[in-house]
Chain A
Amino acid sequence: MTGLFPGFLILSAAMFSVGAVGVLVRRNPLVVFMSIELMLNAANLALITYARYTHTMAGQVFALIVIAVAASEVVVGLALITGVYRSGHKLNLDELSEMSE
C-alpha cells in the first residue's frame, strides 16, 4: 500500500484539477455540475488514501459523509437546473447573465 500511496494522491490531485478546470471552461451547467462532483470525489479519494496512510478511521467516515452530502446537493442542483431549463433559458452559462453592470 505504501508504495501506491503517492500514486493515489497524484490521481486525486489530477481529478481535482480536471474538475476545477472543467468548472472554469465548460458552459453547460450540467457539465459544470459534474465537474464539481469530480472535485468532491477527488477529495474523497484523498481522504480515503490518507485514512489508510495514517491508520485512522476519520477519513473513511468523512468520505461517507461527503458522499451523502454530495447526493443531497445533486438532488437540489438537478432540480434547480431543470427549473431554469423549464423557465425557458438555454442551458448555457454565458447566456445566463441578465444581471451585469
Chain B
Amino acid sequence: MTTLLSLPPWFPLHFVPASNLVGILPVLIVGGGSVLVLLADLAVPRRGNLVLPVISGVVVLGALGTAVGQWILNATNPVVFNGAFADDRFALFADFVVLLTALAVICLSPGYLRRRGMEEGEYYILLLASLTGMLVLSGATNLIVIFLGVELLSIPLYVLAGFARDEPLSQEAAMKYLLLGGFASGFLLYGMALIYGETGHTGLAAIHQQLLQGALSHSFDPMLLAGIALLSVGLLFKVSAAPFQWWTPDVYQGSPAIVTTFMSVATKVAAFAVFLRLFSATLAPYRSEWEVPIAVVAIISMVFGNLVAVAQTSVKRVLAYSGIAQAGYILIGVAVGSPDGTQAALYYLAAYAFMNTGAFAVLTILSQRGEDCDRYSQLAGLWRRQPLLAGLMALFMLSLAGFPMTVGFFGKFFLFSAAIHDGQLPLAIWGILTSAVSLFYYLRVILVMFTAVPDADSDTAPTLAGLSLEGTAVASSTAASVGIPAGVVVVLAGVGTVVLGIFPALIYTLLQGITVVHG
C-alpha cells in the first residue's frame, strides 16, 4: 500500500499506513476532540463560559471539513484497514448528516443547559464520544467494527439520557435506555456470532461472497438466517422500528430535550447507515428471505407510530411516535433494496435531520428551569408570544407530515416512487395512508400554537420577540451569545426545510451514483 506521507517513528500510530489514518480522519478528529474537551474541562473554570462548546464546535467543523475533502478527493477503492472500514461516499453522506446535526446540537446546548441548570463539561465529552461511535458506524464494513460503533454510540448516550440528575423522569429514561439498549446489544452480538460461525468471516465482503455461493445453490443456511434475524432485531431496536420500539417514547420523553434532539436524529441516521450497508449490499443475495419481514416491520412501524401518536398529550412523546413512523418510512427504502431505494432512504435521512432537529430545537429553546417544554399547554398561544418560533415549528410539523414545498414531501415522494418502481405497491399505499393519519397530530400542534390562549401555567414562559431567545432572567451579554446561535440553528433548519423542499436536486444530485461498498 502506497503511503502519502510516512509518519516519524515517535508518532503513536506510525506502524499504520498513513492512507488508513487519512481514511478514518473524521473519526480521529472527533475522538481526539472528545479527549481534548476532557482535558480542557479540567483547565477551565467550571460554569458559565463557552470554552467547551466552542472547542466542540471547532472539532465538529474540522471533521466536517475533512469529510468534505474526502468526498471531493474520493478514491476509487476507499476501503481502509484491510476492509474493516470504508470511507466511501455513502459513509461520507451519513457523516455529513450526523456532523451537521451534532453542530446544531452544540449550538443549541449552552443556552439550554444554562436555562436548565445543567452546565457540566461532561456533556460535551459524552456528546463527542457518542458522535465518534456514529462516525465509526457509518463506515464500518466488519462485524467487529459495527459492534464497536454501536456500543461507542450507545454507552455515552445512556449517561446523557440521565443527565438531568435531579429529575426522576430523566433517571428513569436512562435506566430504561441502558437495560433495553443492552438487551438489544445482546441480540445484535449473538446474531453476529452466528453469522461469523456459519461463514467463518467477520468482514462484510467475505460474508457477501459466502452468501452468494449459498444463494446460487438455493441452499439458505438456517443458522445463517437465524443470525441475520437476530442482527436485524438488534439494529431495528436502535432505529426504533415497531415492534422493537418500547423504549423510544419513555426515553425520548424523559431525557433532556437537547439529548433527545441528538438521539432522535443522529442515532437514527448512523444506525440506518449500517442497516442500509448490510441489507442493500452484504445481505443482498439473501434478499428473497429478508424482504418480506423488513417490509412487514416497515408497515407495522408506520401504522403503530402514526396511530399511537394521535393519542399522546406530551409533545416529546408525539415526536417519539412520529420518529417510529419515520423509521417505518425509511425501512421502505431498505425493503426495496434497489439503488433507488438506498438513495431515497439517504435523502429521507437528510430531510429527517433538518425537520426533526428543527422541531426539537424549538422545544429546547422554549424549555425552562426545572422542566422541558413538553405539554401542549406550554405551546398554547405561541404565535402571539413568539411568532417566528411558532411559524418555524409549524413549518417543521408540515414537513414531517410531508406537505408539498417542504423537504419532507420529497423525502416521502422518493421513497414511495422507489417502492412503486420496484413493484412493491402495498408499501407505498400503506405509506400514503399512514401519512394522511399523521396529518391529524401534526396539525394539532399547529392548531394549539396558533389558536389556543395560553393558560396560567405558561405565563412564566419567555416572552421575548425575535432572535434573542434567552429568558428575561438572564439579561447579560452572554445571554445573547448563547441565544443567537440557537436562533440561527432554528432559522437555518427552517431555511433548509423550505429550500430543499423547492430544490430537492441540491441533495439528490449528491446522491446520484452513490454505491455502497462493503469492504
Contact = CB atoms under 8 A, between A and B. Distances in A.
Nearest to A15: B190
B490 to A, nearest CB: 26
B196 interface: yes
B208 interface: no
Interface stretch (B175-183, B431-439, B452-460): B175-183
Given A50-B193, A76-B158, A65 B179 contact: no
Interface string B234-275: 000000000000000110011000000000000000000000
Contacts of A65: 144, 147-148
B65 interface: no
Given A39-B190, A46-B194, A83-B165, A54 B200 contact: yes
A98 interface: yes
A69 B151 contact: yes
B178 A80 contact: yes
Contacts, number: 141
A76 B178 contact: yes
A43 B186 contact: yes
Contacts of A56: 200-201
A37 B398 CA distance: 44
B151 A84 contact: no
Interface in B152-209: 155, 158-159, 162, 165-166, 168-169, 171-176, 178-179, 182-183, 185-187, 189-190, 192-194, 196-197, 200-202
Interface residues of A, number: 46
Given A23-B179, A43-B190, A77-B182, A59 B196 contact: yes
B317 interface: yes
Nearest to B312: A101
A46 B168 contact: no
A29 B174 CA distance: 12
Contacts of A50: 193, 196-197, 200
B98 to A, nearest CB: 21
A99 interface: yes
B311 interface: yes
A80 B175 contact: yes
B297 to A, nearest CB: 19
B143 interface: yes
Interface in B107-123: none
Nearest to B174: A80
A53 B202 contact: no
B235 to A, nearest CB: 15
Interface residues of B, number: 45
Residue among B143, B148, B168, B193 with the highest chain A CB neighbour number at 10 A: B193
A84 B148 contact: no
B250 A99 contact: yes
A77 B144 contact: no
Nearest to B161: A80
Interface in B44-97: none
A40 B189 contact: yes
B190 A46 contact: yes
A63 to B, nearest CB: 9
Contacts of A89: 168, 171-172
A61 interface: yes
B185 A40 contact: yes
B249 A99 contact: yes
B192 A99 contact: no
Contacts of B213: none
Contacts of A66: 147, 189
Contact of B172 (A59, A77, A99): A99
B313 interface: yes
A101 B310 CA distance: 12
Nearest to B142: A58
Interface in A60-101: 61-62, 65-66, 69, 72-73, 76-77, 79-81, 83-84, 87-89, 93, 96-101
Interface of B: 143-144, 147-148, 151, 155, 158-159, 162, 165-166, 168-169, 171-176, 178-179, 182-183, 185-187, 189-190, 192-194, 196-197, 200-202, 249-250, 253-254, 311-314, 317
Interface of A: 12, 16, 19-20, 23, 29, 32-33, 36, 39-40, 42-43, 46-47, 49-50, 53-54, 56, 58-59, 61-62, 65-66, 69, 72-73, 76-77, 79-81, 83-84, 87-89, 93, 96-101
9 closest Cβ pairs, A-B complex: A39-B186, A50-B197, A54-B200, A36-B182, A46-B193, A43-B189, A43-B190, A58-B202, A43-B193
Given A46-B194, A66-B147, 12 more contacts: A36-B185, A40-B185, A40-B189, A47-B197, A58-B202, A62-B143, A69-B148, A80-B158, A80-B171, A80-B175, A99-B253, A101-B313
6 contacts: A20-B183, A20-B186, A46-B190, A73-B182, A73-B185, A80-B171
